């Protein structure tokens, strides 16, 4: 299947989730996430969920990390839609977040982070068995991931699809993907 078709189908499927099913899948995703080895992680980039699109609730992961691994610096993205580039900012809590024009929560006062990033948690609509992902089509994460040497982990509420037929040279492959039932290594 082609990305455009996958994108449309995946978004439709997610939006049909009941609130109860969505919350249950997010809790199961958190349980899988907890099994990762965080001993070498100093800085972790995590996306903030667009809840209207039923993206995985990463606030559950952030709360768990803050409680169980307070030494890990959590950074969150801020997107520049004119350049299609992202910057990383220190996560200061929900009080520092504000929705942008696209309904995406972004940090307001968190310091810019320009150092190393050890782990990046990546949003996606779908992923395939080869480790490629389908996002919303703007390429923010593919551009962001080109320049960093971090572990790349996708978060998905659904299992892998067989194959994305129109993968190109700009698509960055995931190292892992976490679903509510397993962690898949590529």
Please state whether 87 falls in left (phi above 0), alpha (psi between -120 and 50) or beta: beta
Q: How confident is the model at residue 51 (pLDDT cuts 50, 70, 90)?
A: confident
Q: What is the C-alpha end-to-end distance of the chain, expressed in Å?
A: 20
Q: pLDDT digits over 95-144, tens only?
A: 999 999 888 999 999 999 999 999 999 999 999 999 999 998 888 898 88
User: How far apart, in whole angstroms, are the C-alpha atoms of residue 104 and residue 95?
Assistant: 15
CA 32, 28, 137, 99 dihedral sign is negative
Tens digits of residue pLDDT in 141-177: 988 888 889 999 999 999 999 999 999 888 899 999 9
Q: Is the pLDDT of residue 61 over 90?
A: yes
Please state the rounded mean pLDDT for residues 15-36.
97
């Amino acid at each position: 299947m082609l990305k455009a078709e996958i994108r449309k189908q995946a978004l439709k499927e997610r939006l049909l989730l009941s609130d109860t099913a969505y919350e249950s899948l997010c809790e199961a995703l958190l349980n899988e996430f907890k099994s990762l080895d965080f001993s070498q992680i100093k800085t972790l980039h995590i996306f903030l969920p667009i809840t209207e699109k039923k993206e995985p609730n990463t606030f559950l992961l952030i709360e768990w990390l803050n409680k169980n691994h307070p030494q890990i610096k959590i950074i969150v993205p801020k997107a520049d839609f004119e350049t299609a580039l992202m910057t990383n900012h220190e996560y200061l809590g929900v009080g520092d977040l504000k929705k942008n024009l696209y309904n995406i929560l972004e940090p307001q006062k968190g310091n810019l982070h320009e150092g190393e990033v050890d782990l990046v948690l990546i949003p996606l609509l779908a992923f395939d068995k080869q480790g490629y992902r389908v996002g919303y089509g703007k390429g923010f994460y593919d551009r962001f991931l080109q320049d960093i040497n971090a572990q790349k982990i996708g978060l998905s509420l659904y299992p892998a699809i067989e194959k994305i037929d129109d993968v190109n040279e700009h698509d960055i492959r995931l190292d892992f993907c976490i679903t509510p039932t397993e962690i898949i290594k590529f």
